[in-house]
Copies of this chain bind each other. A is one copy, B any other.
């Protein structure tokens, strides 16, 4: 199975085999990390670029009162800190949500490679801009959708994003987050998350058990949540990959 980073970037620009190989070869490390471990702290300026290869991580900020807001889920193929070289330092932290595998790319190596390959540069910036588009949709989700629709929308999105890297066949996916993590993502209490999940199960939209999420009827869940995948900019059906 191909590298999830490569699989993802192919949605952004048509990479040549040479570019794909060069990118894969740049990944110098692949370290397994446990659940709920901090990878990068606010204020850091990591030397390497981190990429999630397996599992789920997140961007988050802590508030003075101890509250935590998760601002993004990072799924296989997602960069953690591509933006650091331009912004100087992290303005938020990165942690794993589940046991994960994290790879590293030397920042210099990536920059040199990108200089020689405009298509790769396009793909990298495409990925950054899609992250921004996802953030906008999360804001809409928080601001305007009641909690059942909000949680449902998050499930629709994660299904679509995992599908784009071939990790959600038949709308069944590994999704071993805790309800507390979901609560910190959706901006509601974990008690309320629990009640909302019961409702989504009762309505026959999903099952979620033992860390495996199944969307029983993608169309129905998307209709319920008011989900439209346009903001993911995946440009048509996911590319099929020869093996």
Residues of chain A at the chain B interface (Cβ within 8 Å):
12, 59, 61, 63-64, 67-69, 71-72, 83, 86-88, 91-92, 122, 125-126, 128-133, 135-140, 142-145, 186-187, 226, 230-231, 233, 235
What is the CB-to-nearest-CB distance from A120 to chain B, in angstroms, rounded to a whole number? 13
Contacts of A135 in B (CB 8 A): 132, 135-136, 139
Alpha-carbon gap, A132 to B132, bound state (A): 6
Contacts of A64 in B (CB 8 A): 226
* B125 and A86 contact, CB distance less than 8 A: yes
Alpha-carbon gap, A190 to B216, bound state (A): 38
Copies in the complex: 2
Main SS class of interface, A: helix
Contacts of A132 in B (CB 8 A): 83, 128, 131-132, 135
Contacts of A186 in B (CB 8 A): 143
* A129 and B83 contact, CB distance less than 8 A: yes
Given contacts A91-B136, A136-B92, contact A143 B226 (CB under 8 A): no
What is the CB-to-nearest-CB distance from A40 to chain B, in angstroms, rounded to a whole number? 14
Given contacts A12-B86, A67-B144, 18 further A-B contacts (CB under 8 A): A59-B136, A63-B140, A63-B145, A69-B140, A69-B143, A69-B144, A71-B136, A72-B136, A86-B126, A87-B129, A87-B133, A87-B233, A91-B136, A91-B231, A128-B132, A139-B139, A142-B142, A142-B187
